[in-house]
Amino acid sequence: MTDVSAEGRITPGCAGMYRTEHLAAWKRIFDFIHRHSNARIAMQLAHAGRKGSCKRPWEGSRDDDPLDQDGWEVIAPSALPFRPWSPVPRAMRRTDMDKVRDDFVAAAAMALEAGADMVEIHMAHGYLLSGFISPLSNRRDDAYGGDRAGRMRFPLEVFDAVRARWPAERPMSVRISATDWVGDDGIDGDDAVKIAAMLKDHGCDIVDVSAGQTSADAEPVYGRMFQTPFADRIRHRANMPTMAVGNITSADQINTIIAAGRADLCALARPHLTDPHFTLRASAHYQYADQPWPPQYLAARAQAMREAEKARLMALDLRRAAKSHFRDI
């Protein structure tokens, strides 16, 4: 999540794309990636909305703990705090909407200049645009509230403005929360299909399907690949390409999701934090020799392939032994 303005940050430690020095720093990173690999990189643009002006997660004593000092005014569709201890946001006026829209466009233009191959607009997790989409946080009685069309009006205005600035040949995605996890009053999986269809009509290329984090009253149902069913439903009912995310932890899970047609891509965060070489290990596990390795790592590739094959054969032997044991019993 890369924020489009200083007041759009969650915390003082959040990444941004709204100053010239941000452009220079991101360009250095993107140039390095493109120079040394065939990887493509996307920048996810966001505004925190009512979830802004908080401490870094490891500094607060509670979730979404507000800053004790040097905080900033937060804005939202309606003047409803996210948690009882969260700052009360100011309900947005049309002038605020214009500024936020223009901030997204400016950030996208900077991302393009920096060399991003794709942009994603963050409309999930209770941040500003998500706050408009969910009826739990949008209590407006003007054209930007009420029914689904009204609640989607401003998020789609932002999307359209960025899409007009972003080159047609480069993809754009949107991250959504496919459910609020709050009973009958919030967004559910069927709503998500309709929201994805609206995004598709406006030129969205793929939807990044997350869930929840939109309400402090949410009761999420966690588990392995727990958000994949939402991506599956959107892919088939809205005929919209999807990215599956959420507790996807192994190469086998990824390949199963893709092979079964439940999503078009899988996006992983925490597995790459704990193992930056996740993809290289997966290529060794599957004995996929065509996976590009950095030249500095090539000396390790043959060994990784051998060790992965040994581990695979050992696991196969263990499964055979277990089957034989239970047959004997």
Active-site residue set: 127
Among 222, 226, 288, 223, smallest CA distance to 251 is for: 288
Instruction: Give yes or no for a contact between 143 and 135, defined as CB atoms under 8 angstroms apart.
Output: no
Helix 20-36 and helix 94-114: axis angle, to 10°? 40
CA distance linking residue 130 with residue 150, whole number of Å: 13
In DSSP terms, 1 is beta-bridged to none
Q: Please list, in sequence order, all residues whose beta carbon lies within 8 angstroms of the beta carbon of residue 264, skipping any fewer than 6 positions away.
A: 206, 235, 241, 242, 243, 258
Question: What span, in angstroms and rounded, lies between the C-alpha atoms of 242 and 226?
Answer: 15
The answer to whether the CB of 235 falls within 8 A of the CB of 263 is yes
